[in-house]
Structure 1
Amino acid sequence: MPSSAVPGFDFTTDDVPPLPLDEGWAQAVARERFGLDVRARSLGSQQDANFLLTRHDDDASGPAEVVAVLKASNPSTSATEVEAHDEAADLLARRCPDLRVATVLRGDDGAPLRQRVATPHGDVTVRLIRFLPGGTAVDHGLLRPALVARMGEVAARVDLALEGWEHPGLQRVLEWDPQHSLRGVELMASSLPADRREGVLATARAAWARVAAVADHLPQQAVHLDLTDDNLVLAEHPAPGGGRTLDGLIDISDLVCTWTVSELAITVSSLLHHDGVLHAGPSAVLPAVRAYHEVRPLSGAEVAALWPLVVLRAAVLVTSGSHQVEVDGGNTYASSRLEQNEWRIYEQATAVPCDVVTALLQHELGADAPPSSSPVSPTTTDAAAAVPAAPAAVEDLVADLADAAVLDLSWDSDALDGGAFLRPGLVAELAGAHLEQGARAVVTRWGEARLAGSPALSAQAPATVATGVEVWPARPLVLRAPWAGVLERTSGGLVLTAGEDRLVLALDDPDPALLTDPGAVGAGRALAELAAGERFAVQHLTGGAGGGVEAVPLLVSAAEAPGWLAHTADPALLLGLPAAPPRPSARDAARELLVRRDDGVLAEVQEHYYSGAVEPPRVERGWRHHLATTDGRVLLDMLNNVTVAGHAHPRIAAAASRQLARLNTNSRFHYAGVVELSERLASLLPDPLDTVFLVNSGSEATDLAIRLATVATGRPDVVAVREAYHGWTFASDAVSTSVADNPAALETRPAWVHTVEAPNAYRGRYRAARGDDLGRYAADAVAAVDALAAAGHPPAGFIAEAFYGNAGGMPLPDGYLEAVYAAVRRHGGLAIADEVQVGYGRLGSTFWGFQQQGVVPDVVAVAKSVGNGHPVGAVITTREVAARYRDAGYFFASTGGSPVSCAVAMAVLDVLQGEQLQENARVVGARLKGALTSLAERHRLIGAVHGEGLYLGVELVRDRETLEPAREETAALCDRLLDLGVVMQPTSDRQNVLKVKPPLCVDEAAVDFFVAAVDRALSEIA
């Protein structure tokens, strides 16, 4: 648009002079023009001047009162444009009442506090703007997916609020407006570093061509155009359930009428310099796009334009930033943003081909291809366009592979049992085995998410999804052209192009003498000769001649796979094999399963890990201390105290399989296993604990233990420790007082349950750090027991974890159980030790938790570790207490102590002893605790590391003096650890403790990896 037709600013003709106004000037203007006696602090800006105005007490010792933000608009911004900004802000405040908006403040007469002020740099409009506390997200290295989604949602709501609004101040030409972005890049390209200039120009022109192809189908309206991490304000307080959200927006100075989808493109681009996106790539911004689409659905044309607009925005950012630094070398704000943010944004925006990201977006949103969406590349040549299209019928690349063996490398393959998926060279090994068994060839599957070969202890999600197939022939082969086209040689093989179809042949060690010369070839022409057993890979790329995807990796990440696969086809047809049957990607299948779980027949309260901010991984395999997802990633399991011996232990699996093949029946039958297991369990405990009840779970075990106490004593009352969890059955739930599991736990417990204070030496009433006498916890508990007895309610029993697990793996104060047990027994009650989590050698130094207190309980409840995940638990008590149960009837559990459960439980004991897992817990646990403790020297968020052996808790606090729980940060840390390949969850009533309870087989390499991941994640969320 010619400058004469634009009433407002036009960056192509108008100068944007620097506005070097200082804090003294701002204070003087605030006093003389607005009657405010305040202090001013510069907030930094590229083109305007912004100052925070604060008022202090007379002695300046108290907290400052924030009055407003004083904004001086650049002289290039007209008064009409400023009026448009203010009117739009007021409109957004009215139409989005739940959002805080930085509107212009008004005087007593209702007029905006806005003045035109002369400066040595020209006349400027100065306004007082509402200050929004809470801070912005720009300096947060890591943005949780929920926050990313919220940014997209707010962008959509702002667009809907501004839809249909018009103002003369919108008639301006900004370099930030994507409609003029290519002109901006070309005009300021000389400011770019010489070694990057041509690349940025070429990238911007290619992206512009893609937008131009759909521009006629893009709706336009007034948009904020700067809803970035700089200008979206965080809520002052965490949202219900934890985590801060966004509830405010500032800075409407880029307001313009342009393509509506530009709003989302600019929001998305601002995410690209954050750690999570730098680590995961473009797929990390999908939550923002999905959230926007749910509020304001995107058309097919808008989806096609979105990522090209992101690329254009990135190109403008680095070009404009370089230009600003060139003309205003003293602008440290501009120079630091250029290096720390803007070049990062550009690198991420261009890291994956634009067409791939667009296809990924289309897949994610279910968007149809838009009208006229095929891009016209400015680099397309006439020669390329002249290549004939591939015929409808093609020749076979190989004469006869009809009986080839198809190699299954997915999580579901039986060949991956026993942890084989971690074995180096497994794929070639499996292919060789098939050839030895007589297969004429072995072929892998296109589009499959491979678990085979996926690395363990990897902080980066590996490339697992196949975009082609690999072939191992049993005899020499001649590969022939499936269609007529143009042949090229590459360093690793051949490429045959015909129209938009390309055949890519990758050879391990190509012999040039056995490859056909480059040039035009006819269908059926020999391309290469291969020896028997010589592996080759085949890809069928589509849409390549005029598109932007010149090469596709043979394996791509599951997150980006839909985008890459959209540019490929199954090469099986070229090999004379049937195409792979249609099936959803591993990620789509996992999402569909999650919908069936959350919205289907399962009760809503039957929760799962990662139910909030991130998509839970679908886990279908495990091995030792590793969990494998269906999209082929291997995760480190630092959480799973259920599988004490490790996942899929072959000895335990064999015991279960062997017994299932023989008998599994009601435990009331007479068979050896129930006796043998009971004898072995009793032998692990001190006298007089010699009698065993077998049950199915920890909840049943603690429930039965309570019932034993009440029946044996003839009393109903039970004493329990607060902040503990013991199970979900009636009795075990009644004594569970953890508000993390049940917020109403204390208010709803039955009258027969009495609680004593949690003996938390870190943050309880008595604290080790203050030098308090920790023995007072026991004295108070004893006093409570005595008071109950004096009131005519002597307790039937006292139940407690022998090592305080729910608080984060915290030892009880020395002598605690000895004193409380003695008090309970003095009044005729029983001492119950809940060893469900801590027992079975997890502490390393002792097999049972109660042994650390030097006591012997009357009843022990144990589960989890007993069956290594198989549902089996036990209650061990004295013969006398067990005999009293007859007073309440008889006991049996149909499957508690079944033949299979007994076989599994005995195999677990064999593994614990044979592999010295208790000793491993002691040695590796000490290494892990020492390393985690050392992290506290660098990360003040770590308040303490509790526990012993492999029963640890890392407590995170915002202040080491007040011990304010860092709940939001703990949740963010767990989410980030999943990105980095580690499974971890929070625990405790405050949900601010990392629950570090891995399988006891975890090794030193694994715990070192875990500590490094925690170190990295803490650095990013701080």
Structure 2
Amino acid sequence: MSQPASRRGFDFFSAGELPAPALPVDEVAGIVREQWGLEVGLEPLGSQQDQNFLARAPGGGTPIGVVKITNPAFTADELDAQDHAASRIADAAPHLRIATTSLADDGTPRSVVADTSEGPLAIRLLEHLPGGTLNGPAYLSPAVVARMGGIAAHASLALAGFEHVGLDRVLQWDPRHADRVVDLLANVHPDPAKRAQVTDAASRAWAEVRAVAADLPVQAVHLDLTDDNVVCTTERGIRLPDGMIDFGDVTRSWAVAELAITISSVLHHAGAEPVSVLPAVRAFHALRPLSSAEVRALWPLVVLRGAVLVVSGEQQVQIDGGANAYAAEGVEREWRIFEQAVSVPSSVMTHVIADALDIGLDAGGRAAPAKPAPPGGRVAPAKPAPPGGRVAPAKPARIETDPAVDLDRAIRLDVSITSDDVDAGAWLDPELEDRLALAALDAGAPLAWLERATPRLTRSRTLAPESSATVPLGIDVWFAAATRVSTTRGDAHLVVEAADGMTILDGTVPARTRARIRLEASDAPPHVPHLVRPEYAVGWLAVTEDPAAAIGLHDEGLDAALRADSTTGDDAAALIARRDRSFADVQEHYYDTPPRIERGWREHLVGTDGRVHLDMVNNVTPLGHGHPGLAAAVAKQLRTLNTNSRFNYGAVVEFSERLAALAPDPLDTVFLVNSGSEATDLALRVAMAATGRRDVVSVLEAYHGWTYASDAVSTSTADNPNALASRPDWVHPVDAPNPFRGRHRGTDAVRYGPEAAARIRELAASARPPAAFIAETFYGNAGGIPLPDGYLAEVYGAVREAGGLAIADEVQAGYGRLGDWFWGFEQQGVVPDVIAVAKAAGNGYPLGAVITTREIAARYRTQGYFFSSTGGSPASSVAGLTVLDAFRDEGLQRNAADTGAYLKSRLEALAERHPLIGAVHGLGLYLGVEFVRDRATLEPATEETAAICDRLLELGVIMQPTGDHQNVLKVKPPLVVARESADFFVAMLDRVLAEGW
């Protein structure tokens, strides 16, 4: 370049205003043509202080590169440093795509200082990296956020040791100058309240950084690896960052600033909050470990970054007079980054980050408490602090109460998720805690109390897109008599509040009234809440102490139990690790990082941290979770008798009678087993015994179970990728009667029945007449798709004509799930010869059944006798009876019809606005939402479906994919699901489809 070198580069504090270049498009196109012989069309790209264009081949063709017109304030040395930094990262991380300056045919960089209408300007043609960036407000998944952290780490590693004269510059984006930038620019902010918020937060954050600044390594940094500057490759519908662009801010700064700037850019995206950045922090640390000092500086740097963005954005808008659309549009985005950065105190986030990385904090910080304890426990005690650290204040706190209070007779209340007191939905009663406390006082206790750190289910809320504040930072106490509470020593600050949060100034707690007591560390942030969300609990607990210990309420036994809890590692991730060591891994679990679920109620599932999820997939429990009638009936039976069905007792007879009565004539005889797999297996064996044959006709893309016979007729490649190749020769599959994506679609679906019947006749003609035809009566495994009208009548007729039996697999569709019909085959207007049923029959208790005629059942004698140890046991029979009672008394089938129709209509309305939804299948509460990338080709959106399910989990909905392509949402909730829950599910799905996954 012709511009002379400078020994010192740009200095923001002496440069004054920096209006971005604003050359006309035609002029830029002319320069490109003149300098490099390229004919291009130019599309403006956003930039804060430069001017950028996407250059395409004429007529809107293939992108050729990015024309970057650098602000004239920057020197040739600085641009050279940027080019070298890009090349250095490209060499060190060849798996990443790096936007370097493109080369002409002769190998020279396309870089020039051109005379323009605005004077000499440095213009470069940078390599174009296809795939786009993460620009915009769309949701970023944990996988994407982790990739961003990994890219930042690779840049940091590659630039360590890089020296260049062009790094000698003072940028407003360098956090080493953040205090000065905010002081200089704050006055440009038009809102006095926001201005004060920014300056106050920046002042606090700067003090926190300054305390560790001497221990922060300094090196060359990219300094702008934000969502705007990482590029992505899209594979099968999922975008993942794999490259970087825009080296305009390359300079020398604190190494940890690379990560701070990256994670700051996450905070404005849909659904993002401070803990959303942890995947990036972990990924960065895994490649380029953070020191304790860097951990302490990280979140204050995020706050400073947010503050600088806010004031700089306002300044740039004013400088450009509104002409810079990129800067103008960024004002709201930058304020959201700042708002999220300050939404949690830096000291709390520092402990959250330290815990996530398992790093102790140096002097000036406390060692972070361990992760939440197992169910019924509390967030475990703090880890031992490293040298220079501390666990508790120098002077342990001591809280004095009235000497007349006999602490040995105090009653510790339990409203954790494992407590009996929260059964049967009692946790939803806002008065439960007070009722339990007053009952304890009435029984003679001098005080009742709720401990610190144990998540309280009573504070959980259903149908919420984020977790509730369930973890207490102090204790709640009810005294039998008015009692004064005060501290006698210690550095911690005692807070005594009434139930409404108002401070009790003299510390006197009225009799039989709740008081909230906290011990806040001397360096705790202001406004410590009494209850916090579990994601942040480890950080908040680190800046508070346990009042129960200070009062003397904890005994040695409880403390020992808590210490044991902290060493067993029974949080969700550790439990999965234990499961993997002892449980055959072929027994898969939902989600890659599943929550730990230990309680359910109706259509809700509750994690150990108190997070409540809406269960929209669990067709095993039509009565819902935690049904008190079922629990009481089975418990009573287990207390009296539970044996096998060879003994003579009433429950098995009554259940068999009632189940047979629900089947149409002539089906009147029942076999009882333990599961759906056993039911279908037995149904097949009954057919083989009754006919003396072994060949069976089944349907493609179907799943019937895991036993030998039920697996043999299962053809779902989602459940077994080798299903089609591994079928035994006695199984003869026919086409899946799928009118949406099968061989015959729409009105042509009527051809499936005659074709299947023809196949059965072919087998009979070839001396292999089938013993049975087996199929789900509603095409469930493919996503709740009704069979074509007349399909079963056609096929049942053919198999019977050949002397075989018709087996109806009702394991999923049966028991009222379709709403208007108790059995799925009723929707087809047919009666099978054999019914296999399970799942709903026991509401999760192991129970299945085969229902057939007395004559067919009797022929099983040719195979010997049948016996199932727990099939038809007293307990399972009582469970089955209780389920039937609930169907009769609680209107479950009617709710399946009404709520199911309502839910389907709402999902269909959603499909009108979101093209990813190819179809909404099903009836009643047996629905499927099928995702496709193209409604014409029906290309399955498999990866998108998995990602949507993961995002729904974050928003409080349990959902899983189904079908051979795993592109259908399996919408099969408990039949008690309320309309409000249906609305919540649709709202969250709508949000995911709008915001991204």
> Is the CA contact 2:349–2:539 (under 8 Å) kept in the aligned structure 1?
yes
Confirm whether residue 601 of structure 1 aligns to residue 582 of structure 2: yes
- 1:781-818 CA-to-partner distances (Å, cap 9, x unmatched) read 22332333344433222211111111211111100111
Q: Match for 2:510 among 531, 535, 557?
A: 531
**C-alpha displacement of 1:912:** 0.8
Specify the SS of the correspondent of 2:535.
coil
Specify the SS of the correspondent of 1:607.
coil
- Going from structure 1 to structure 2, the CA distance change for 1:17 and 1:340 (only over 3 Å counts) comes to closer
Q: Match for 1:464 among 470, 477, 491?
A: 470
- 1:501-534 CA-to-partner distances (Å, cap 9, x unmatched) read 210110248999xx77xxxxxxxxxx34343212
**C-alpha displacement of 1:931:** 1.8
Question: Hey, what's the Cα distance between the residues in 1 that align with 2:763 and 2:133?
Answer: 54
Question: Hey, what's the Cα distance between the residues in 2 that align with 1:529 and 1:210?
Answer: 37
Specify the SS of the correspondent of 2:107.
coil
Specify the SS of the correspondent of 2:927.
strand
- Going from structure 1 to structure 2, the CA distance change for 1:831 and 1:64 (only over 3 Å counts) comes to farther
> Is the CA contact 1:133–1:236 (under 8 Å) kept in the aligned structure 2?
no
Where does the alignment leave 5 or more consecutive residues of structure 1 unmatched? 376-388, 484-497, 517-526
Cross-structure match for 1:367: 359
**Identity within the alignment, %:** 54
Q: Match for 2:953 among 955, 968, 978?
A: 978
Please tell me the residue identity of whatever aligns with 1:475: A
Confirm whether residue 416 of structure 1 aligns to residue 422 of structure 2: yes
Cross-structure match for 1:552: 528
- 1:722-768 CA-to-partner distances (Å, cap 9, x unmatched) read 22211122222222222222223223323322222222222222222
- Going from structure 1 to structure 2, the CA distance change for 1:790 and 1:977 (only over 3 Å counts) comes to same
- 1:177-218 CA-to-partner distances (Å, cap 9, x unmatched) read 111122222222222124122321221121111111111111
Q: Match for 2:124 among 127, 131, 135?
A: 127
Q: Match for 2:750 among 775, 787, 792?
A: 775
> Is the CA contact 1:86–1:104 (under 8 Å) kept in the aligned structure 2?
yes
> Is the CA contact 2:399–2:485 (under 8 Å) kept in the aligned structure 1?
no
Question: Hey, what's the Cα distance between the residues in 1 that align with 2:621 and 2:526?
Answer: 47
> Is the CA contact 2:928–2:970 (under 8 Å) kept in the aligned structure 1?
yes
Confirm whether residue 221 of structure 1 aligns to residue 228 of structure 2: no
Confirm whether residue 884 of structure 1 aligns to residue 865 of structure 2: no
Tell me whether 502-511 or 196-205 shows the greater mean CA deviation.
502-511
User: What is the number of residues matched between the two proteins?
Assistant: 959
Tell me whether 569-578 or 802-811 shows the greater mean CA deviation.
569-578
Specify the SS of the correspondent of 1:600.
helix
**C-alpha displacement of 1:429:** 1.0
Confirm whether residue 355 of structure 1 aligns to residue 355 of structure 2: no
Question: Hey, what's the Cα distance between the residues in 1 that align with 2:861 and 2:450?
Answer: 63
**C-alpha displacement of 1:918:** 0.7
- Going from structure 1 to structure 2, the CA distance change for 1:704 and 1:1006 (only over 3 Å counts) comes to same
Question: Hey, what's the Cα distance between the residues in 1 that align with 2:687 and 2:812?
Answer: 21
Question: Hey, what's the Cα distance between the residues in 1 that align with 2:160 and 2:728?
Answer: 57
Question: Hey, what's the Cα distance between the residues in 2 that align with 1:38 and 1:73?
Answer: 19
Cross-structure match for 1:728: 706
Question: Hey, what's the Cα distance between the residues in 1 that align with 2:771 and 2:945?
Answer: 39
> Is the CA contact 1:115–1:126 (under 8 Å) kept in the aligned structure 2?
yes
**C-alpha displacement of 1:656:** 0.7
Question: Hey, what's the Cα distance between the residues in 1 that align with 2:567 and 2:33?
Answer: 63
Question: Hey, what's the Cα distance between the residues in 1 that align with 2:609 and 2:899?
Answer: 30
Confirm whether residue 282 of structure 1 aligns to residue 274 of structure 2: yes
> Is the CA contact 1:842–1:921 (under 8 Å) kept in the aligned structure 2?
yes
Cross-structure match for 2:146: 149
Cross-structure match for 1:381: none
- The CA RMSD measured in Å over matched residues stands at 2.4
Please tell me the residue identity of whatever aligns with 1:183: R
Specify the SS of the correspondent of 1:117.
strand
Please tell me the residue identity of whatever aligns with 2:422: L
> Is the CA contact 2:300–2:346 (under 8 Å) kept in the aligned structure 1?
yes
Cross-structure match for 1:505: 496
Question: Hey, what's the Cα distance between the residues in 2 that align with 1:392 and 1:247?
Answer: 51
Confirm whether residue 866 of structure 1 aligns to residue 866 of structure 2: no
Cross-structure match for 2:21: 19
Cross-structure match for 1:1017: 992
Cross-structure match for 2:170: 173
Where does the alignment leave 5 or more consecutive residues of structure 2 unmatched? 368-392
Cross-structure match for 2:910: 935
Specify the SS of the correspondent of 2:818.
coil
**C-alpha displacement of 1:671:** 2.7
Q: Match for 2:82 among 66, 81, 85?
A: 85
> Is the CA contact 2:366–2:542 (under 8 Å) kept in the aligned structure 1?
no
- Going from structure 1 to structure 2, the CA distance change for 1:289 and 1:460 (only over 3 Å counts) comes to same
**C-alpha displacement of 1:1010:** 2.1
**C-alpha displacement of 1:351:** 0.9
Please tell me the residue identity of whatever aligns with 1:353: P
- Going from structure 1 to structure 2, the CA distance change for 1:588 and 1:358 (only over 3 Å counts) comes to farther
Question: Hey, what's the Cα distance between the residues in 2 that align with 1:209 and 1:663?
Answer: 70
TM-score, normalised to structure 1's length? 0.90
**C-alpha displacement of 1:401:** 4.4
Cross-structure match for 1:158: 155
**C-alpha displacement of 1:102:** 1.5
Cross-structure match for 1:8: 9
Specify the SS of the correspondent of 2:68.
strand
Question: Hey, what's the Cα distance between the residues in 1 that align with 2:775 and 2:812?
Answer: 12
**C-alpha displacement of 1:482:** 2.5
**C-alpha displacement of 1:938:** 2.8
- Going from structure 1 to structure 2, the CA distance change for 1:438 and 1:751 (only over 3 Å counts) comes to same
Specify the SS of the correspondent of 1:692.
strand
> Is the CA contact 2:837–2:850 (under 8 Å) kept in the aligned structure 1?
yes
Pairing of 1:833-982 with structure 2 (within 5 A): 833-982=808-957
Please tell me the residue identity of whatever aligns with 2:671: F
**C-alpha displacement of 1:640:** 0.9
Cross-structure match for 2:40: 38
- Going from structure 1 to structure 2, the CA distance change for 1:374 and 1:906 (only over 3 Å counts) comes to closer
Cross-structure match for 1:661: 639
- 1:619-662 CA-to-partner distances (Å, cap 9, x unmatched) read 11111112122111222221111001111111111111111111
Confirm whether residue 694 of structure 1 aligns to residue 694 of structure 2: no
Specify the SS of the correspondent of 2:807.
strand
TM-score, normalised to structure 2's length? 0.92
Specify the SS of the correspondent of 1:606.
coil
> Is the CA contact 1:407–1:444 (under 8 Å) kept in the aligned structure 2?
yes
Question: Hey, what's the Cα distance between the residues in 2 that align with 1:9 and 1:804?
Answer: 68
Question: Hey, what's the Cα distance between the residues in 2 that align with 1:638 and 1:503?
Answer: 45
Please tell me the residue identity of whatever aligns with 1:223: V
Specify the SS of the correspondent of 1:773.
helix
> Is the CA contact 1:223–1:258 (under 8 Å) kept in the aligned structure 2?
yes
Pairing of 1:390-469 with structure 2 (within 5 A): 391-392=395-396, 394=398, 396-399=400-403, 400-402=405-407, 403-469=409-475
> Is the CA contact 1:88–1:162 (under 8 Å) kept in the aligned structure 2?
yes
Pairing of 1:629-778 with structure 2 (within 5 A): 629-768=607-746, 772-778=747-753
Q: Match for 1:992 among 945, 967, 972?
A: 967
**C-alpha displacement of 1:163:** 2.2
Please tell me the residue identity of whatever aligns with 1:870: Y
> Is the CA contact 2:313–2:328 (under 8 Å) kept in the aligned structure 1?
no
> Is the CA contact 1:405–1:443 (under 8 Å) kept in the aligned structure 2?
yes
**C-alpha displacement of 1:439:** 0.9
Please tell me the residue identity of whatever aligns with 1:778: G
> Is the CA contact 2:317–2:328 (under 8 Å) kept in the aligned structure 1?
no
